[in-house]
Homo-oligomer: A and B are copies of this chain.
Amino acid sequence: MPTQPLTALKPRKTPSQSRSRVTVDAIYEATIQVLLSRGMAGLTTTGVAERAGVSVGTMYQYFPNKQSLVYALNERFLTTLAERVEATCAQMQGRSIAEAAEALVDTYWAAKTERPELTRALYRSVAELETDALLRAFAARVDKATTDMFCRASDFRSPDAGEVNLLLTTVIYGSVRNAFERGLGQEEIAGLKSGLKAMCRAYLEAVGN
């Protein structure tokens, strides 16, 4: 898989005029629609343009290639997610680690659950993209926020904040994803979520926090 230069995935022009803004938003939304209705394999440039009500040419003025469409979607989604996590982290400053962890579970879960179909589609879309860099950047950003939160927790005394952070975030993010992949009902989801929190709590108590 040849690695593409990142620039090739970035939108071509930042829409400053209002007309452009509308166009770009329409394309974003159309990409989501097509992704949901026809899946990643059925996502064609003409299909997206048609759904967006613009010509292919117009679309290509804002997105240099097909990949950039999905890339932009992921970028948007991840940015929002990161902001939410950061907000939670800021809010949880000085609380106990357990409380912080539980809040993280809630925030992450909520963000992913808001548009479950989109979440699922994006999870899948990632597989075909050169999104490694994007994901890594996102992970770094979020890790920084959560590590900070854990460090400044009222009861923090672990020698290595990074280790705690890695464990908790891996378990939380991974569990959320896996929960998504099983087709679970409301009740099961609720049980899973509280179970996950309980696990985090129990672990932190056990290691002395």
Interface residues of A (CB under 8 A from B): 1, 38-42, 123-128, 135-136, 139, 163, 166-167, 170-171, 173-179, 181-183, 188, 191-192, 195-196, 198-203, 205-207
Contacts and interface: CB of A to CB of B under 8 A. Distances in A.
Contacts of A166: 188, 191-192, 195
A160 to B, nearest CB: 9
Contacts of A167: 191-192, 195-196, 199
Contact of A178 (B177, B192, B195, B202): B177
A41 to B, nearest CB: 6
Q: Interface on chain A toward B: helix, strand, loop, or mixed SS?
A: helix
A128 B127 CA distance: 8
A128 B181 CA distance: 14
Contacts of A38: 1
